[in-house]
Amino acid sequence: MNRKPLLPFVALAALTSVTLLSSVAAVPVTVLNQASGVVVDTGSPASPLESNPYTFSFDAGAAADKLIVALSSELSGPGPTVITYNDVALTPVAGTINGKAQGIFYLDAPFTGGAADLVIDMTGFNVVNGIGFGVTSISGSAPGVSAGNVAAGTEVELAVLAVDSFVISNYASNTGGIPTVPVGHVELYSNGDIGSADGAAAYLNGVAAGPYTVSYGQPGELAGNHTSAAVFAPFAAPPPITVLNQASGVVVDTGSPPSPLESNPHTFSFDAGATADKLIVALSSELSGPGPTVITYDDVPLTPVAGTINGKAQGIFYLDAPFTGGDADLVIDMSNFEVVNGIGFGVVSIAGSAPGVDSGSAAAGTEVSLTAPVAGSFVMSAYASNAGSVPTVPMGHTQIYTNGNIGSADGAAAYLNGAAEGAQTLTYTQTDAVANSTGAALFLPVIKPTAPTITEFTLDGSNVTLGWTSRDKRFYTVRFSRDQVDWRGDIDDSIEPNDGDMTTFSFDLNVFGLGNEPRLFFRVDERVDER
């Protein structure tokens, strides 16, 4: 093999005019300070918590952006518990209070000037025999709370939507041995004498995205035990996709006169917004017949996402570059069906999305999965069943609508903006559901190309081999120049990446009439496959 000097090629082949990807990269959460305590109505004198708020001093730390309290107790009465830090009230996380697990509380932007009073006020209760609490301050967290949940027993499940999230939990029971905190978690406290109850609290930082189960342990005969937990996301750049406007509706063949949807298209007015680049509709229905459904916006038909229709979940539809001049008619035409007893629909307009749709899926039941190839994607879903209670949308998703009377069916629709890269499992919940199905579609943000790095260059006679870092769902162009000014010369402008994170490409200079050139420069550009 005859190898010519590589320096002119390697140095200049690495030059690229492509800008770096602005990604939605999370900043990991940092735990700053923590404390815990157990206070019971014993001793001399006793501490009547139902009449005397408990106060202790805590320093959140100069960099703190969130203060979190996990509380367990032995009590009776209506409540609620009120917790303040430096006289500012903490927010209870919805869905984390049940029984003796008195829930998770948090405060964004807490006082950071040193030690301050943290006050646990339970004077709204009739009887408080004891409390156990864990306190943590963190930095690098996003405002608010991502999700919270509580369940009877020693376990509770959470939907973690962002990588490197922070999970804090507490556990309580009426009798038993001293609880043990979840494996791998940092214990805040564990105690077997909280009044006549037992309790514990713990946290885990850096939790991966996806379903997550918090599991406490406790020996002995357990009674009245509950586990609650909350997940706090790390700070991240705003999602690249912006949600502009949304609307929803339910139309059924009832009333006076009824609305025969199989013969009368349903029309309503919707403003996509001046900057909209995509309009999306999620549809559920109670119907029979061949179809299909035809949806138009300002007389332009939407595209049904392949694979999103299953049973009563009538799928996801989208339109790129919709009308942006104000209100326009969105028409749902189901005149191709024999019977349409009712429809439920959710509409969303977005900006910052790549043309087309990445993927769609549907399945019988309450759950469907998609895989986001990049962070910051937008997920839209629809759910329907034949009979049951009103459905609940996936945890962490924004509800567009949920209804228990769509003809004789039930339906719901929701979306998630800024989805993490990787598997996305959407789980609706509904009791007594029959013939239920779920459909979902995933839309990508506009992905700015990233600069590939050339890591390999060989020259064997007139044969050149280039190797560079690459990513899935992109195409690559190899260009040449004689002077580093004119880069209009293409070797190939549609090179598909190899599997993995590296691509190798070979070509013969003679094929392009370049075999006798005394000096050449190469570069690799990336573009996104806009499907």
> 354 with 528: CB under 8 angstroms?
yes
CA angle 490, 492, 498 (to 5 degrees): 145
Residue 174 binned pLDDT confidence (cut-offs 50, 70, 90): confident
Query: What's the rounded Cα separation, in Å, for the pair 15 and 451?
Result: 9
What integer pLDDT is reported at residue 14 of this predicted model? 33
The 10s digit of each residue's pLDDT in 338-383 is: 888 889 999 999 999 999 999 999 999 999 999 998 888 999 999 9
- Look up the CATH architecture of domain 7-21+448-528: Sandwich (2.60)
Mean pLDDT of the chain: 87
How confident is the model at residue 156, as a pLDDT? 94
Flag whether pLDDT at 289 surpasses 90: no
What CA–CA distances, in Å, run from 93 to 162, 231, 262, 418?
Answer: 18, 10, 45, 22
The band of 246, judged by pLDDT with boundaries at 50, 70 and 90, is: very high
Whether the model pTM is above 0.85: no
Instruction: Give the residue extent of every domain in the chain.
Output: 7-21+448-528, 30-232, 242-443
Burial state string for 149-161 with b = 16 or more CB within 10 A and e = fewer than 16: bbbeebebbbbbb
The three-state secondary structure class of 308 is coil
Q: Of 8-22, 85-99, 174-188, where does mean pLDDT reach its minimum?
A: 8-22
